[in-house]
Amino acid sequence: MAYVATRGGEKAIEQAERLFRQDLGTIDAQRVETIRATMPYLIDRVMGEASLYDEELAALALAQTGGELSEAVLVLRAWRTTQPRLAIARPVKQDEVLTQRRISAAFKDIPGGQILGPTLDYSHRVLATDVLEGKPFAPPAVDKAASSAPAKQPSLADWQRQQGLVAPANPSAVSPEDIPDLTREPLLFPASRAHRLQSLARAETGGVLALGYAAMRGYGNAHPTVNELRLGEANVVVRHPRGTEFSAGRVRVSQAEVTSKEKGGYLELGFAATFGWNEVKVIAAATLDLNSDDAPVGSPVHEEFYLYHTESVEASGFCIHFKLPHYVTFQSILDAMRDAKVKRAAAEAAGEVYLGEPEEEPVL
């Protein structure tokens, strides 16, 4: 692919950016705080796709880019690359997450019970147009339960293993330094499960949904049932150089396990997790994980296909690059068209039929 350098347009480029910034207006700390406080699920999506948990910086990225998600994710990822890595946190276990929502579509009764938590799943989607007429939309207060649900809930998959429904777990001890890191290593295929789940964790939500939906509709070999969906807050536990462990704070996390038909005497499980609360993403991502092992090459649910095509920064960057000058390649197409027209006209004038240029033999 050939490009040509753009020259003489520096002032126009500068003014174009000024025009964009002018449309957004002044960005101050109050504006950033308003975005952070009023759009938590949008903030969660940006943090998840940027693989950086910082609500204030995610709100700043949205304010700075006018809410253009791919640009906000790019800005936040770029900023993350400038920061040092201080420590590697201890792995988060399901039964240690401070759970605010936990449901299962596979079982009516599960250990710990179904906890609906904050959701719109069972409500009508009606636009509150009264707000535009000066009538504030004030949600009614939540009625407190007689007794609060336990802050931590057991793993449903562990209970299923005890029932002989899921294959026994075979965890292997891995030192923190040996854990693969997609933010510092290239994604290679066939991908390790760690790389696959890391890539899905920061994949573009719309892309994951589209391909997960394709798997659900029949392009995959496994139709999912939500085994467990959990929203909560996880403690980030790190080790101090002196050897003591402490919590550096909490992060909102989503996780989903989906299951399908029996295989080898056990239920198959697909898993996904991400920063923030993003239910549709983790359900779709877990569905892709569930379908990965048996998907044929070229299928939309084959891991190489969906991992490459849900990488938001690479995908948006490649798409946007087509706006750059492609004068050389396009002119070569026009030259070939004009040459073909001249030869066709000459052939017709001579009473001959122009069949086009012969195809070149491939070079092996």
Helices (H), the chain: 10-24, 29-38, 40-50, 55-64, 69-80, 156-162, 193-201, 205-214, 279-291, 303-309, 312-320, 327-349
| Residues 198 and 121 placed together within one structural domain of the fold | yes
Query: To which H or E segment does residue 230 belong?
Result: strand 225-239
322 within some domain:
no
356 within some domain:
no
278 within some domain:
yes
| Residues 127 and 160 placed together within one structural domain of the fold | yes
**Residue 235 and residue 247 in contact, taking contact as beta carbons nearer than 8 Å:** yes
Residue with tokens 């980030």: 236
| Residues 282 and 185 placed together within one structural domain of the fold | yes
Check residue 165 and give its pLDDT.
83
CA dist., res. 356 & res. 294, Å (int)? 44
Q: pLDDT tens across 74-110, in order?
A: 999 999 989 888 888 888 888 889 999 998 988 888 8
**Residue 301 and residue 220 in contact, taking contact as beta carbons nearer than 8 Å:** yes
Whole-Å CA distances, 203 to 130, 183, 200, 210: 36, 12, 5, 12
Check residue 284 and give its pLDDT.
93
φ, ψ for residue 338, nearest 5 deg: -65, -40
φ, ψ for residue 23, nearest 5 deg: -65, -30
Whole-Å CA distances, 305 to 160, 195, 276, 354: 32, 14, 25, 41
| Residues 174 and 310 placed together within one structural domain of the fold | yes
| Residues 107 and 71 placed together within one structural domain of the fold | no
CA dist., res. 272 & res. 226, Å (int)? 12
Structural domains counted in the chain: 2
Q: pLDDT tens across 6-37, in order?
A: 555 788 888 888 888 888 888 999 999 999 99
Check residue 253 and give its pLDDT.
94
159 within some domain:
yes
| Residues 149 and 283 placed together within one structural domain of the fold | yes
Question: 332: burial class by Cβ within 10 Å (0-12, 13-18, 19+)?
Answer: exposed
Whole-Å CA distances, 361 to 230, 309, 330, 335, 343: 57, 32, 24, 22, 22
| Residues 164 and 243 placed together within one structural domain of the fold | yes
194 within some domain:
yes
Which residues constitute the domain of residue 76? 11-80
| Residues 19 and 111 placed together within one structural domain of the fold | no
Query: To which H or E segment does residue 83 belong?
Result: none
Domain end (from 45, 80, 115): 80
Regions of the chain with pLDDT less than 50:
1-3
